[in-house]
A and B are shown apart, each in its own frame.
Chain A
């Protein structure tokens, strides 16, 4: 699956800005005993600014409580920031309604979760087709696209009609990756994708992401392990809701190269 955007950008020799956040904050209010006057405010993000270009492979790293999940939810259009601006492909999405955000998620964003979140007792193929159902793609076309996505996520063809709960963890995560790919998204968010996998299967999944990145996909990887983050090309470190480091990774962990 070649990215249409890659082709377009090559013509102009300019990498388009995919994500730009300006001074984003997120505050959670927890009211005590239902009394809003006594609400406790928790500042999870304290003014975060950065930008991500098309085709980047960025890892967001930080210990638990650093705000990395909250940041991913905002970047993934699952949540809106309390203050600040968020431009997604040049469009300000920080003030959009639920359904408008759903449209962006449907067309532009793919998610891979730590817990896979596949529909159990449902075939692999149908799991991957799910985003296309909400995009009103016709059944025949859906199957074709889903099969392509599964192949590019590295799942064997004989597994396509198995039920999702009959798969191993690694296979499940590949199905989840295929599901994230199926809508031809501009960006893929992976939230601790190796968290529920053993290190060997984890490597395989990370390799899949690296391959996808080579094909021109923009990928954001959220993790708390430095080792995992080193698979990316750029590492943004978060602590207590603030960026403490934003550096290029030397990509010491290019799995393909190690093998060669």
Chain B
């Protein structure tokens, strides 16, 4: 049998049962479509998390406190310790040569009120070097200055999301007075939007002098994070080691294992965030994969029915000279063509769904060539895998029995 004839026979056979073939293809369409869409969502969120971490500024090291050591067996949450101080930050800035800038911060969530409106957001007490370290740009007014920090000024710089919530979109809040935790602050600036939504967005923050935050809001002398900018990306590891050694020495701790703080580079954060996102991608894809397997079983079911229905036809084909291989190829081609058509439509559907999700819900999606190749090879594999048994069943039919079949 020539290849062209094989395709023609297959086309005729599929066309003869349009409705049933259509339903079977639908199973594969849904399977492939959901795999593509799910991988797109997973990879989209991976890349948006990566972009967000990268937007925090390159060459960034983040020092956060470790677990508060206590004498009881009960351990507190990591990061809850209040062991980092402004003096630690100064020491890092002064003593380590590979460090370019240091920005300590003391962050906590507070209720913020402007006239009738209010919002709850992250209030970051920090110093003048913060915008440089975290790559934040000023839109209106100015950022917290050295002077503000020294004189415990009650001034605040708003992120654009906070401005939108309190003053309305595109309003200029500079010069207005807001209340943070009941204390009046004068708005002196507005930062530029960096994009991104949800947890950790730098648009949804209020910046105030760190001294003010310690004295009037937290009432304590610690800092919650020290942000460090290294000279360049080559000295990151060196800076990390030097900072660790310096802080161990300052905190009178002898071994690195017992450290009450941790130093994370942007790369470390990127790595752990990506691995979480990758796990999510795999999880989503495997759930979608189940529907693909169900679709494949649908193919097998249809092929089994077809073989039974066409028993007489198979008998005739054998009587006029079709060999086993001819018959099995014919049914295999039918199964593969069903899955292939399903694969093409499913891929388009998956791309459409991913596009729709991005369009309507702002969730980033990313279609990769890999997921399309994966979908196609899986659908071809399913066609061959689930079509094999019915095709063998057809090929092994005894022509006499098949011709007699009623």
User: Hey, which bits of chain A sit against chain B, CB under 8 A?
Assistant: 73, 76, 78-79, 98-99, 102-103, 105-107, 111, 113, 115, 117, 119, 121-122, 130-131, 133-136, 138-139, 179, 183
Contacts and interface: CB of A to CB of B under 8 A. Distances in A.
Interface string B293-314: 0000000000000000000110
B2 A107 contact: no
B400 A133 contact: no
Contacts, number: 65
Nearest to B310: A119
Contacts of B319: 76, 78, 105, 111
Interface of B: 1-2, 4-5, 9, 12, 16, 312-313, 315-326, 399-400, 403
Contacts of B324: 98-99, 102
Contacts of A76: 319
A117 B316 contact: yes
Contact of B321 (A73, A103, A113, A117): A103
A133 B12 CA distance: 14
Nearest to A105: B321
B69 to A, nearest CB: 76
A121 B17 CA distance: 11
> Which one of B318, B321, B326 has the greatest number of beta carbons of chain A within 10 Å?
B321
Contact of A134 (B315, B322, B399): B322
Contact of B320 (A99, A106, A138): A106
25 contacts: A99-B323, A99-B325, A102-B321, A102-B323, A103-B321, A103-B323, A105-B319, A105-B320, A106-B321, A107-B321, A111-B320, A113-B403, A117-B313, A119-B313, A121-B16, A130-B317, A130-B320, A131-B320, A133-B2, A133-B5, A134-B320, A134-B321, A134-B322, A136-B1, A136-B2
Contacts of B1: 133-134, 136
Nearest to A118: B316
A133 B9 contact: yes
B399 A135 contact: no
A5 B323 CA distance: 26
> Which one of A117, A131, A179 has the greatest number of beta carbons of chain B within 10 Å?
A117
Contacts of B316: 113, 117, 119
A192 B322 CA distance: 23
A131 B321 CA distance: 7
**Which 4 pairs across A and B sit closest by C-beta, in order of nearness?**
A106-B321, A131-B320, A117-B316, A102-B323
A99 B315 CA distance: 14
A79 B402 CA distance: 12
Contacts of A115: 312
A136 B326 CA distance: 11
B400 A78 contact: yes
B-side interface mostly: helix
Nearest to A131: B320
A105 B5 CA distance: 20
B16 A183 contact: no
A242 B12 CA distance: 45
A35 B269 CA distance: 70
A183 B400 CA distance: 21
B2 A102 contact: no
A153 to B, nearest CB: 15
Given A117-B312, A117-B316, A119-B313, A135 B2 contact: no
Contacts of A138: 2
A79 B316 CA distance: 14
B12 A102 contact: no
Contacts of A179: 320
Nearest to B322: A134
Contacts of A135: 321
B400 A79 contact: yes
Contacts of B312: 115, 117
A61 B301 CA distance: 43
Contacts of A183: 320-321
Contacts of A113: 316, 403
A113 B319 CA distance: 11
A39 to B, nearest CB: 18
B398 to A, nearest CB: 8
Contacts of B326: 134
A173 to B, nearest CB: 14
A116 to B, nearest CB: 10
A260 to B, nearest CB: 36
A122 B12 contact: yes
Given A102-B322, A117-B312, A122-B12, A134 B317 contact: yes
B320 to A, nearest CB: 4
Contacts of B321: 102-103, 105-107, 131, 134-135, 183
Nearest to A130: B320
B314 to A, nearest CB: 11
Contacts of A122: 12
Contacts of B16: 121
Contacts of B313: 117, 119
Nearest to A110: B320
B326 to A, nearest CB: 6
A2 to B, nearest CB: 22
Contacts of B5: 133, 139
A201 B81 CA distance: 102
Contacts of A102: 318, 321-324
A79 B9 CA distance: 27
A102 B315 CA distance: 12
